[in-house]
Amino acid sequence: MFKILHYVPSFSPLSETFIYDLVSGLEARGECENVVVCKRRLLIDQRPFEPVVVLKKTGTIRQLFNKISDSARMRIHEDEHFRTILSEFKPDMIHAHFGISGIRVNNFIAQHQIDIPLVVSFHGSDILLNPAQIKSFQPNLLKINANERVMMTTPSQFLKDKCLSLGLAGDKIKVVNNTVNEKFLGMERASAWDGKQKLKIVILGRLAPMKGHKYVFKALAQLKQSFDNFELHILGDGPSRDELNALAAELNLQRHIVFHGAVAHADLPRRLSGFHLSITSSVRTEEGYDESFCISLIEASMAGLYCIASDAGGPAEVLTGKEAFTYPQKDYAALTEKILACVNDPEKMALQADELREFMLARYHPEQYFCRYISLYKNMIDGAQNNSSASSL
């Protein structure tokens, strides 16, 4: 059995289910031993993985002098603690999640001349935003790229293409599509809409500009002119909530929209089974941010919901081959037409929802995901051991 040390800034924020699902799924399969090292631990009751080691913090006075340009390295106390963890756990390789983690670990092992395989997983903002916001970020990404013992992963070809535009080598980047937590595979399926009951629509995700909620509201305002027996349920919270409440009032949609706030991920399968249709309305922001993937789209499909998604970045790639479920991002008139097509033919809506679920299962099944990562780990560890044997001859 080999050992993997996972390094991540925070373990585990509400929106970052994919890292928790990865380490807990790897542990359950019994092929590797895993330890998580982080700077902050969150949601311990909801995500009870062990062992998790929280790095010792720097002193208060030193923290006053730490600037954002400092982000490429570990603080002195963290550095010492990390060396101790490596010495005690003796991992066969390190998996750094997010670009900033990869930068810190890569600089750390270079500074201390530690010869160990490193996987760096990029997830979105670390490639789409950080290089433009932090002056030292791209040069440090290129240092990762130059490390012969490094492989990088992205959840989509869309994000890999963005990596290539930053000068990272294509042969060092593997696309490993995200998956869903396995509890979604055995969940209760949603009942098909019969055309008479209230059509219950759901949006999953943070209330933030990149999620495009306002375009859904505008689409529903148009929909209401010909069909008003619907409710929109919003599962999630965030900085756009007040703006969206005001827009709902402006469009006279208050009785059609329910804000549920943040929902525990463990409760999501039960909640999803009460809806009929899911909308993913992601958009590209003025800052250049796109969705890099869209796990919530797969989760909704596993529940048996009919899914409509914008053609922005990751969601469009998730639905490659099923473009009939997409619409041009920000085009709320086109979204209205997609919803009306469901309203006008409930039987076709139910059949297509079932077809989409089978498509998602075939392409994004958890077993495929874990096999890809375990294979990647084994290849890198075997390569490191072979190089070590050759150098000792």
pLDDT tens per residue across span 170-226: 999 999 999 999 999 988 889 999 999 999 999 999 999 999 999 999 999 999 999
Burial of residue 152, with CB atoms counted within 10 A of its CB: 0-12 exposed, 13-18 middle, 19 or more buried: buried
Judged by average pLDDT, the poorest of 120-124, 282-286, 354-358, 362-366 is: 282-286
pLDDT at 366 over 70: yes
> Stretch 345-367: mean pLDDT, rounded?
96
pLDDT band for position 78 (50/70/90)? confident
Please report the pLDDT score of residue 386 as a whole number: 64
Superfamily of domain 2-179+366-391: Glycogen Phosphorylase B; (3.40.50.2000)
Which of 26-40, 299-313, 316-330, 376-390 has the weakest average pLDDT?
A: 376-390
Taking the alpha carbons at both ends of the chain, their separation in whole angstroms is 26
Q: How far apart are CA 22 and CA 137, in angstroms?
A: 26
Q: Amino acid letter at 188? A: E
Q: What percent of the chain has pLDDT over 90?
A: 82
Q: How far is CA 334 from CA 245, 251, 256, 308, 356, in A?
A: 23, 18, 20, 11, 20
pLDDT of amino acid 388: 52
Span(s) in the chain for CATH 3.40.50.2000: 2-179+366-391, 183-364
Q: Specify the long-range contacts of residues 247-251, CB closer than 8 Å, at least 24 apart.
A: 247/214, 247/217, 248/217, 251/217, 251/218, 251/220, 251/221
pLDDT at 336 over 80: yes
Q: Does residue 390 register a pLDDT over 50? A: no
Confidence of residue 71 (pLDDT cuts 50, 70, 90): low
**Dist CA 328 CA 225 (whole Å):** 22
pLDDT for 83 equals 92
- The whole-number average pLDDT for the span 63-86 is 65
Q: Which pLDDT band, with edges at 50, 70 and 90, does 353 fall under?
A: very high
So what's the pLDDT on residue 287?
79
Q: Are strands 93-97 and 2-11 parallel, antiparallel or unpaired?
A: parallel
What local confidence, expressed as pLDDT, does residue 68 receive?
38
What per-residue confidence (pLDDT) applies to 74?
Answer: 60
Residues 258-298 have pLDDT tens digits of: 999 999 888 999 999 999 999 999 999 887 788 889 999 99
Residue 67, pLDDT > 50, answer no
Q: What percent of the chain has pLDDT over 70?
A: 92
pLDDT band at 66 (very low <50, low <70, confident <90, very high): very low
pLDDT number for residue 393: 41
pLDDT of 227 higher than 80: yes
Residue 14 has pLDDT above 80, yes or no: yes
Look at residues 290, 124, 310 and name the one whose alpha carbon lies nearest to residue 203.
310
Q: Which helix (H) or strand (E) holds 116?
A: none
**3-state SS class at 271:** helix
- The superfamily CATH assigns to domain 183-364 is Glycogen Phosphorylase B; (3.40.50.2000)
Phi first, then psi: what are they for 263, rounded to 5°? Answer: -120, 130
Least confident of 193-197, 204-208, 376-380, 384-388: 384-388
**What are the pLDDT digits (tens) for 90-140?**
999 999 999 999 999 999 999 999 999 999 999 998 999 999 999 999 999
Is residue 389 very low, low, confident or very high in pLDDT (cuts 50, 70, 90)? very low
Mean pLDDT of the chain: 91
